[in-house]
């Protein structure tokens, strides 16, 4: 029997797998050790985690495009030689014309090698698709020196006030939600702050519904009340911070957010009375253009009442790809470029670049101006998930896509490399509570598909780079544990003998928390479309749409509108409508729902609706608006 991690969300649930002749994969719940999914239960996605592996659509051989979207099979040798010869050209002329993008579900070992390849080629243009979501939270916690209050899942159960901010945990991370329910059974107050009515809000002691994008005003109003009530020393606040806070009275917050004063006061009272509290948040917060400011403000709120914080990770290795340095502004272990000497010595390359590279949004913009000419995309369907990415890929001279299934992104590739799925290779991932866990291979990859790390080794060797001569992922993890301080305890010997996983090695930091106050808000005119996720679908559906038990049950992904707006627009259940923004349109079927507040529209994230948001990058924060946008709703006749 082997132990594995669920390949879907960032909760990092564990399961035993047994193989029998009658069925290749039998899941057994882990009940004998302390795993993230308390008592080993799994959600519908976890229970169906092997289904997509049986799909006949898997990519099995390397492919070369003879024209856009038309491919011929080629050998691995041909594919690697062709890619190496293109990359060699860029290495000579300008490596910064290359962009490397990884998904948040590749293993730590593959993520580490991916950025090592990019940096040894000569560019820091490397990023991951979780960077604009979970990555914003990680950066905010580290910038605020709040690592010591970064919670584990056990902290949820031990809290008597739990705030879920912009997170529909019951659908996006059901096994973490079980911990919340256990706390509720022990009389914990559950405060949900979310404009939507969701499965999570049904269990709330208090549910308030700020208009999308206005959360920062609500946070400031809570700080305003708490500073008065608890007589908390405001010495750490700058005068300009206190000025913003004093303007954000509960009455002002009611006007901007729509949350009644009495609810704001009640939440402040519960926070003030808490014996032990925790704030969890999800993409509802992080993916706004002011996401960083909102999260820093939540941390400020948490710091004045000594609450713990827990950002939720969307993909099973969102945390790990950040830790491994698959970002343009940090080396592995969040080391700044001042520390490049560590990697120059370890990787035996004195030429490693030190200027901050491009992130995904900037690379898309630069590709449109032809300043980025080639993309290497590993395990991410960016053509569907990122606004304007399709246009950028179409403009690029050369596109390499490494994935397990054909996607909208592989369609635009020059070379497609067939990768092993997560459960087809040994490797480690790191969950939202920063628990590093080893997963065993339970099946060989189909056809000629290979693990990501093995493909990267072949390419590194073909390019004549040093440090790509690994035969097993365990060897890569050994290198990681010597170079990434947070993974010092995660050497392969320890990790493989510890099925519960090991926690990040936290270097004690006595620096005080840096408070941060902001009043920055995105301008969203109603009607505002907000994206939502369904429990049985995942990301762009690359895996879940190939899992019959999930795809049959969660097939109808509807556009939800309020009763008031439906009446105003003259639409009813089953009507076909299009959401139109200045950046495009999205067509779907309507359902009128009491769960939606007037002036907002809920649309399913999984089928590319976020492409209509465009890619407007906020000048001050450098972040695009990817959670909500103003749009029109029109009936399709
Ligand atoms: S909660 Fe997340 S990690 Fe756990 S079983 Fe469900 S999808 Fe998998």
Quick one: 119 and 138 in the same domain? no
Decide if 389 is inside a domain: yes
Q: How far is the CA of 220 from the centre of ligand 1 (A)?
A: 33
CB of 43 closer than 6 angstroms to any ligand 1 atom: yes
In total, how many domains does the chain have? 4
Quick one: 213 and 286 in the same domain? yes
Mean pLDDT along residues 282-286: 78
CATH number of the CATH domain containing 464: 3.40.50.740
Could you tell which of 4, 5, 7, 8 is best to mutate to test the pocket of ligand 1, judged by most ligand atoms within 8 Å of the CB?
A: 8
Q: Are 176 and 156 in contact (CB under 8 A)?
A: yes
Q: How far is the CA of 272 from the centre of ligand 1 (A)?
A: 33
CB of 6 closer than 6 angstroms to any ligand 1 atom: yes
Among residues 101, 166, 2, 197, which one has the least CA distance to residue 412?
A: 101
Q: Is residue 231 pLDDT above 80, yes or no?
A: no
CB of 42 closer than 6 angstroms to any ligand 1 atom: yes
Quick one: 123 and 141 in the same domain? no
Residue in the block written with tokens 């939270």:
137
Pick the range with the lowest mean pLDDT from 73-87, 259-273, 470-484, 492-506: 492-506
Length of the chain: 637
Could you tell which of 28, 36, 37, 200 is best to mutate to test the pocket of ligand 1, judged by most ligand atoms within 8 Å of the CB?
A: 37
Q: Output the residue whose Cα is nearest ligand 1's atom 4.
A: 13
Decide if 143 is inside a domain: yes
Decide if 326 is inside a domain: no
Beta-bridged to residue 528, according to DSSP, are 600, 630
Q: How far is the CA of 322 from the centre of ligand 1 (A)?
A: 20
Residue pLDDT, tens place only, 130-188:
888 899 999 999 999 999 999 999 999 999 999 999 988 998 899 999 999 999 999 99
CATH number of the CATH domain containing 192: 3.40.228.10
Using alpha carbons only, give the angle 421, 424, 426 rounded to the nearest 5 degrees: 115
Mean pLDDT along residues 554-572: 87
Q: How far is the CA of 56 from the centre of ligand 1 (A)?
A: 24
Mean pLDDT along residues 200-220: 95
| Strand 206-208 to 189-193 pairing | parallel
Quickly list DSSP for 24-67. EEEEEE--SS--SSGGG---HHHHTTTGGGG-TT---S-EEEEE
Q: Are 33 and 3 in contact (CB under 8 A)?
A: no
CB of 30 closer than 6 angstroms to any ligand 1 atom: no
Quick one: 35 and 158 in the same domain? no
Quick one: 268 and 167 in the same domain? yes
pLDDT band at residue 96 under the 50/70/90 scheme: very high
Quick one: 299 and 150 in the same domain? yes
Residue pLDDT, tens place only, 433-476:
999 999 999 889 999 999 999 999 999 999 999 999 999 999 99
The whole-number pLDDT of residue 246 equals 95
Q: Which atom of ligand 1 is nearest to the CA of 43?
A: 6
Could you tell which of 46, 156, 168, 544 is best to mutate to test the pocket of ligand 1, judged by most ligand atoms within 8 Å of the CB?
A: 46
pLDDT band at residue 274 under the 50/70/90 scheme: very high
Q: How far is the CA of 45 from the centre of ligand 1 (A)?
A: 6
Residue pLDDT, tens place only, 317-370:
999 999 999 999 999 999 999 999 999 999 999 999 999 999 999 999 999 999
Quick one: 274 and 371 in the same domain? no
Q: Which atom of ligand 1 is nearest to the CA of 7?
A: 8
CB of 11 closer than 6 angstroms to any ligand 1 atom: yes
Quick one: 169 and 299 in the same domain? yes
Quick one: 475 and 598 in the same domain? no
Residue in the block written with tokens 């969701």:
198
Residue in the block written with tokens 């795993």:
35
Task: Look over the chain and give the mean of its residue pLDDT values, rounded to a whole number.
Answer: 91
Residue in the block written with tokens 């009455």:
251
Decide if 427 is inside a domain: yes
CB of 8 closer than 6 angstroms to any ligand 1 atom: yes
Q: Output the residue whose Cα is nearest ligand 1's atom 2.
A: 9
Quick one: 145 and 264 in the same domain? yes
Please give the residue range of the domain that contains residue 550. Answer: 528-635
Decide if 205 is inside a domain: yes
The whole-number pLDDT of residue 234 equals 57
CB of 46 closer than 6 angstroms to any ligand 1 atom: yes
Among residues 11, 290, 308, 10, which one has the least CA distance to residue 136?
A: 290
DSSP character for 629? E
Residue pLDDT, tens place only, 8-66:
999 999 999 987 766 778 888 998 888 999 888 999 989 988 888 888 999 999 999 99
Mean pLDDT along residues 568-579: 91
Beta-bridged to residue 73, according to DSSP, are 63
Q: Is residue 302 pLDDT above 60, yes or no?
A: yes
Quickly list DSSP for 210-228. PPTT-HHHHHHHHHHHHHH
Residue pLDDT, tens place only, 602-618:
888 777 778 888 777 77
Residue in the block written with tokens 């059974």:
185
Quick one: 113 and 154 in the same domain? no
């Amino acid at each position: 029997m082997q132990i594995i991690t669920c390949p879907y969300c960032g909760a990092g649930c564990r399961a035993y797998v047994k193989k029998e002749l009658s069925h290749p994969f039998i899941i057994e719940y882990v009940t004998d050790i302390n795993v993230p999914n308390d008592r080993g239960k799994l959600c519908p996605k976890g229970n169906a985690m092997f289904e997509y592996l049986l799909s006949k659509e898997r990519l099995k051989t390397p492919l070369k495009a003879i024209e856009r979207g038309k491919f011929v099979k080629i050998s691995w040798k041909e594919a690697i030689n062709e890619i190496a010869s293109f990359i060699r050209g860029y290495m000579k002329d300008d490596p910064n014309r290359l962009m490397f993008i990884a998904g948040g579900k590749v293993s730590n070992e593959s993520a580490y090698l991916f950025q090592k390849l990019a940096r040894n080629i000569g560019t820091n243009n490397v990023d991951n698709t979780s960077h604009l979501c979970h990555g914003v939270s990680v950066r905010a916690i580290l910038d605020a020196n709040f690592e010591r209050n970064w919670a584990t899942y056990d902290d949820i159960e031990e809290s008597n006030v739990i705030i879920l901010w912009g997170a529909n945990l019951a659908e996006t991370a059901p096994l973490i939600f079980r911990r919340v329910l256990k706390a509720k059974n022990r009389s914990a107050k559950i405060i949900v702050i979310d404009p939507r009515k969701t499965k999570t809000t049904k269990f709330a002691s208090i549910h308030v519904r700020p208009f999308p994008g206005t959360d920062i005003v609500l946070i400031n109003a809570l700080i305003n009340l708490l500073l008065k009530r608890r007589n908390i020393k405001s010495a750490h606040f700058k005068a300009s911070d206190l000025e913003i806070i004093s303007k954000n009275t509960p009455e002002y917050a009611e006007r901007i957010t729509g949350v009644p004063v009495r609810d704001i006061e009640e939440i402040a009272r519960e926070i003030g009375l808490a014996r032990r509290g925790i704030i969890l948040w999800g993409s509802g917060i992080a993916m706004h253009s002011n996401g960083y400011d909102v999260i820093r403000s939540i941390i400020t709120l948490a710091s004045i009442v000594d609450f713990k914080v827990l950002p939720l990770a969307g993909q099973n290795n969102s945390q790990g790809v950040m830790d491994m340095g698959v970002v343009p502004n940090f080396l592995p272990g969040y080391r700044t470029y001042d520390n490049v000497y560590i990697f120059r010595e370890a990787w035996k390359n004195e030429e490693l670049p030190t200027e901050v590279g491009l992130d995904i949004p900037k690379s898309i913009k630069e590709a449109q101006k032809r300043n980025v000419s080639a993309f290497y995309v590993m395990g991410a369907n960016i053509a569907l998930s990122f606004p304007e990415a399709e246009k950028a890929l179409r403009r690029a001279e050369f596109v390499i896509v490494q994935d397990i299934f054909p996607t909208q992104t592989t369609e635009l590739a020059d070379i497609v490399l067939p990768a092993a799925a997560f459960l087809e290779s040994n490797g480690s991932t790191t969950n939202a509570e920063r628990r590093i866990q080893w997963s065993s291979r339970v099946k060989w990859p189909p056809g000629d598909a290979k693990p990501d790390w093995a493909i990267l080794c072949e390419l590194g060797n073909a390019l004549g780079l040093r440090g790509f001569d690994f035969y097993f992922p365990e060897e890569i993890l050994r290198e990681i544990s010597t170079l990434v301080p947070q993974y010092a305890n995660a050497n392969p010997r320890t990790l493989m003998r510890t099925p519960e996983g090991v926690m990040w090695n936290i270097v004690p930091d006595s620096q005080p928390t840096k408070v941060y106050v902001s009043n920055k808000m995105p301008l969203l005119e109603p009607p505002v479309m907000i994206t939502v996720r369904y429990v049985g679908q995942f990301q762009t559906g690359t895996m879940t749409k190939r899992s019959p038990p999930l795809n049959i049950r969660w097939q109808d992904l509807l556009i939800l509108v309020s009763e008031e707006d439906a009446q105003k627009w003259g639409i009813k259940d089953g009507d076909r409508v299009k959401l139109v923004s200045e950046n495009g349109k999205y067509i779907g079927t309507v359902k009128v729902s009491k769960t939606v507040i007037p002036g907002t529209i809920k649309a399913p994230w999984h089928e590319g609706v976020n492409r209509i948001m465009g890619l407007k990058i906020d000048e001050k924060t450098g972040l695009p608006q990817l959670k909500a946008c103003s749009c029109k709703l029109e009936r399709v006749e």
